Amino acid sequence: MAVDLLLGLQWGDEGKGKIVDVLTKNYDIIARFQGGPNAGHTLEFDGIKHVLRTIPSGIFHNKSVNVIGNGVVIDPVVFVKELEGLKPFNIDYKSKLLISRKAHLILPTHRLLDAASEAAKGKAKIGSTLKGIGPTYMDKTGRNGIRVGDIEMDGWKEKYRALADKHESLIYFYKVDIQYDLDEMEKEFFEAIEILKSLKFIDSEEYLRDAIKKGKSILAEGAQGSLLDIDFGTYPYVTSSNTTAAGACTGLGIAPTMIKEVYGIFKAYTTRVGSGPFPTELLDDVGAKMAKIGNEFGAVTGRPRRCGWLDLVALKYTCAINGVTQLMMMKSDVLSGFDSLKICTAYNYKGDIIKHLPYTIEEEYVTPIYTEMKGWKQDLTKMSDTAQFPQELNDYIHFLEKELEIAIKIISVGPDRTQTILR
Map residue 52 onto helix, strand or coil. strand
How far is the first Cα of the chain from the last one, in angstroms, to the nearest whole number?
24
- β-strands 420-422, 408-412 pairing: antiparallel
**Residue 12 touches ligand IMP, criterion: CB under 6 A:** yes
**Residue 14 touches ligand IMP, criterion: CB under 6 A:** no
Q: Is the distance from CB of 133 to CB of 12 less than 8 angstroms?
A: no
Amino acid identity, position 9: L
Among 16-24, 60-68, 128-136, 330-338, the segment contacting ligand IMP (CB under 6 A): 128-136
Q: Of the listed 4, 21, 41, 114, which one is catalytic? A: 41
**Residue 322 touches ligand IMP, criterion: CB under 6 A:** no
Residues 34-93 within binding reach of ligand IMP (CB under 6 A): 38-40
**Residue 133 touches ligand IMP, criterion: CB under 6 A:** yes
Sequence-distant (≥ 6) Cβ neighbours of residue 358 within 8 angstroms: 347, 349, 365, 366
**Residue 265 touches ligand IMP, criterion: CB under 6 A:** no
Q: Of the listed 13, 21, 311, 333, which one is catalytic? A: 13
- β-strands 218-221, 3-8 pairing: parallel
CA distance 284 to 360: 24
- β-strands 352-354, 366-374 pairing: unpaired
- β-strands 97-100, 200-202 pairing: parallel
* CA neighbor of 262 nearest in space, from 44, 11, 7, 42: 7
Binding-site member from 10, 42, 64, 129 for ligand IMP (CB under 6 A): 129
Backbone φ and ψ of 309, nearest 5°: -70, 165
Is the Cβ of residue 117 or residue 336 nearer to ligand IMP in the bound state? 117
CA distance 415 to 46: 11
Is the Cβ of residue 126 or residue 413 nearer to ligand IMP in the bound state? 126
Is the Cβ of residue 134 or residue 151 nearer to ligand IMP in the bound state? 134
**Residue 109 touches ligand IMP, criterion: CB under 6 A:** no
CA distance 46 to 175: 49
**Residue 13 touches ligand IMP, criterion: CB under 6 A:** yes
Give yes or no: 385 in active site: no
Map residue 396 onto helix, strand or coil. helix
Q: What track of x and - describes contact with ligand IMP for positions 198 through 227 (by CB under 6 A)?
A: -------------------------xx---
**Residue 274 touches ligand IMP, criterion: CB under 6 A:** yes
CA distance 56 to 61: 11
Give yes or no: 50 in active site: no
Binding-site member from 56, 76, 108, 134 for ligand IMP (CB under 6 A): 134
Q: How far is the CB of 409 from ligand IMP (least distance, A)?
A: 23
**Residue 243 touches ligand IMP, criterion: CB under 6 A:** no
Active site residues: 13, 41
Positions touching ligand IMP (CB under 6 A) are: 11-13, 38-40, 126-129, 131, 133-134, 223-224, 228, 237, 239-240, 273-275
